[in-house]
Amino acid sequence: MISPAAWGSRWYGLHYAAVNPDIYSGDLSGAGTVSASVSTMRYFQNTSANVLSGSASMKSAGAGQLSGDLNLVTTTPPYKQALSFVASTPTSLNYNQAAQLSEIAGSWKGWLSYGLGSNDAFSISIAASSGVMTLEKEFNNCLWAPSGTTAEPNPEVNLFKLKITMTEKTACSTDINGKTLTGVAFVQKSPVVGQTQRLIWVATTVDGKGMSFTADR
């Protein structure tokens, strides 16, 4: 996902090598052109919760098409790794239209991944009038503050600007305790039989620690 220029042209990537994805993030230079780059990329390794560095170069073959080459630093020999990807906008997502809170509002129950663990039955609720996000119970002894946690619709493209404000709790992981995370969210057609919508979002701190969430309803 690439956030609009008004939100900083930030790139987010989820790599599902296992159930919980690694989270890639970084400021994108050259957004809106056929080629762009992330000179200082961060990637958050799930289960180990390490934040490592790297860089990325990306190209677009046309609307909704994106390919990229990532150069990663690792903690084990050979200490460098290359990763390539090809992505496209989901056919069920009309990107070039204003996002509507009515599409994302209501209750969602799905898979939250947060580096040190995951919750496959994590429930949140998004207010139809304000986009305020609330959660039913804490995870890994952590909570977020509803007053500072919102999904804001973009008036030009079908994405939501995500802000998650974590509360200060003694037992919460220091990776996110009291921190503010920002990111993006979108809703597409669900591939699950009997469900109609899939919500995907990702949010990170300024130093690359993050959370991701996927839910169907």
pLDDT at position 19, please?
Answer: 74
Domain ranges of the chain: 10-88, 101-216
Residue 74 or residue 100, greater confidence = 100
pLDDT value of residue 117: 80
Q: Give the percent of the chain with pLDDT over 70.
A: 100
pLDDT of residue 127: 96
Strands 118-126, 35-45: pairing kind: unpaired
Structure confidence at residue 186 (pLDDT): 96
What is the distance, to the nearest Å, from the Cα of residue 184 to the centroid of all Cα atoms in its chain?
6
Integer Cα distance of 149 and 1 in angstroms: 20
Q: Is 151's pLDDT higher than 80?
A: yes
36-50 pLDDT, tens digit per residue, is: 999 999 999 877 778
**What is the C-alpha to C-alpha distance for residues 21 and 15, in angstroms, rounded to an integer?**
5
More confident residue, 181 or 17: 181
pLDDT tens readout for residues 52-97: 999 999 998 887 889 999 999 888 787 888 999 999 888 888 888 9
C-alpha 162/C-alpha 186 separation (Å) is 10
pLDDT at site 70: 94
The pLDDT score that the predictor gives to residue 91 is 83
Q: 147 has which bridge partners?
A: none
- Helix (H, G, I), strand (E, B), or coil: what is residue 7? helix
Write out pLDDT tens, residues 108-147. Answer: 999 999 877 888 899 999 999 999 999 888 888 889 988 8
* CATH architecture label of 101-216: Beta Barrel (2.40)
The pLDDT value given to residue 134: 94
Q: State residue 203's pLDDT score.
A: 95
